[in-house]
Amino acid sequence: MSDFILALTGGIGGAKLCLGLQRVLAPGALRIIVNTGDDFEHLGLAISPDIDTTVYTLAGLANCELGWGRKDETWTFMEVLQTLGGPAWFRLGDGDLAMHIERTRRRAAGETLTDITADLAHRLGVPSRVIPMSDDPVRTVVGTAAGELAFQEYFVRERCGPAVTALRFQGAQAANISGAAAASLHDASLQAIVIAPSNPYLSIDPALAVPGMRAALRARGAPVIAVSPIIGDSAVKGPTAKIMRELGLAPSPLTVLEHYRGLIDGIVLDERDAGLAKHIHIPARVCDTLMRSLEDRERVARAVLTLALELRC
Ligand code: GDP
């Protein structure tokens, strides 16, 4: 078996680093465990937003303007659906729709999300292995003052507006880590585990809530390295900093570090936060972690891999 790096990711932020890792590693030397807490059923379709963002990004098919979905997308389905009075709050492009329909068809025929994801990613030309955290349903539920919202209702329909009072991961306790994730975590060729700069509370915690995931992350003794999604006191994109404030947490890379305490062996911080390094008592590496270009993604990937190498020595 060849050596590989295993990343744990959510959607947009995490996928940026995964693309950088894929570009600097040998083909096939990256495996990615993806959050499925955002998954939901809509219009009778099985939708896995973080898996699709990861697959589209790694296949070079992602829509960079929208930040989700496929590039060069058309919207006939949505236009007709809207005319017919159907729900239009969750937008599905015509090409994207094929992914959800095919996934739903294969699920109904009895295939696992793991097998379907592996095959669809392969067909789209992704050289890395994209692995759902679990084949069992885990659903992130967002507590707000006005009651609980299913994740996509909160994230897309309400545009992250309501203040978050609590988060829970329905089904997580009864879920199992997917077989491919467990096998990767215990594989002797695993060189390092990377917690991507994804939302720790919405994208990484659902995976950590599946029984045995934390223990499995530590089991092989491969170094676990996180990249902070917080730069200064802000998220690069999305509601991470807002949610932290609402949950009474200071948005800071130090809070992210604290959140992953006991799980990670090293952290990559943004150069704007270099001054915090003196408060960090695990190995840290500082670089410009803002990933706008492909070169940026490769630079952050190299910083992670360099730290991993140091930690293995
Ligand atoms: P989502 O599931 O689509 O919300 O995406 P993720 O959870 O994977 O990513 C959201 C997080 O990515 C946010 O906390 C952002 O701050 C972070 N993020 C996005 N782009 C960058 C970047 O270029 N650099 C760093 N360090 N974090 C980023």
Mutate to test the pocket of ligand 1, among 39, 240, 289 (most ligand atoms within 8 A of CB): 240
**pTM of structure:** 0.97
The reply to whether ligand 1 has any atom less than 6 angstroms from the CB of 243 is no
Q: For residue range 141-165, what is the model confidence (pLDDT) as tens digits? A: 999 998 999 999 999 999 999 999 9
Q: Which two tokens stand for residue 243?
A: 């949610």
Report pLDDT for 191.
Answer: 97
Which stretches does DSSP call E strand in 43-145? 45-47, 129-132, 139-144
Cβ-in-10-Å burial (0-12, 13-18, 19+) of 43 comes to middle
* CB distance 70 to ligand 1 below 6 Å: no
Q: Cβ(252) to ligand 1 under 6 A?
A: no
Kindly state the DSSP code that residue 202 receives in the 8-state scheme. Answer: I
Q: From ligand 1's centre to the CA of 135, what distance in Å?
A: 24
Q: Could you read off the pLDDT of 94-127 as tens digits, one per residue?
A: 999 999 999 999 999 999 999 999 999 999 999 9
- Average pLDDT over the chain, rounded to an integer: 97
Ligand 1 neighbourhood includes 197 CB (under 6 angstroms): yes
Domains along the sequence of the chain with CATH: 4-312 (3.40.50.10680)
